[in-house]
């Protein structure tokens, strides 16, 4: 769902508790309880699925030089490997 300008502040406020909870998990090491290796595998699979199947992202290849768009997708938006 897209958020209009008039809803930007409310939507930002709604997301902040999730961000704070994630940061707390990382800080306390609680994320390790979930299994860092499993989390990394899942994040890599998520990124790969977006790079390969997200039709909206294919538009980047039409707007920009295809090799530049591919590099942006693989290094910035959906990295091939999530750093540990």
How many domains is the chain partitioned into structurally?
Answer: 2
Q: How far is CA 32 from the centre of its chain?
A: 19
Q: Name the token pair of 59.
A: 């538009």
User: In terms of residue numbers, what domain contains 14?
Assistant: 1-34
Kindly report, residue by residue over 36-78, the tens digit of the pLDDT: 777 778 888 888 888 888 888 888 889 999 999 989 988 888 8
Note whether 46 and 83 are same-domain residues: yes
Kindly report, residue by residue over 9-21, the tens digit of the pLDDT: 888 888 888 888 8
Provide the pLDDT for residue 64: 92
Provide the pLDDT for residue 40: 79
Residue 51 Cα distances to 15, 16, 26, 34, 78, angstroms: 25, 27, 26, 25, 7
Contact 35, 44 (CB under 8 A): no
Q: Name the token pair of 27.
A: 């800080």
Provide the pLDDT for residue 83: 59
Note whether 83 and 52 are same-domain residues: yes
């Amino acid at each position: 769902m897209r958020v209009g300008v008039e809803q930007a502040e409310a939507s930002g406020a709604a997301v902040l508790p999730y961000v704070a909870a994630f940061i707390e998990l990382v800080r306390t090491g609680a994320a390790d309880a979930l299994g860092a290796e499993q989390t990394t595998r899942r994040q890599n699979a998520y990124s790969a699925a977006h790079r390969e199947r997200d039709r909206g992202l294919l538009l980047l290849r039409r707007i920009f030089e295809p090799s530049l768009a591919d590099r942006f997708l693989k290094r910035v938006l959906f990295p091939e490997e999530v750093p540990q």
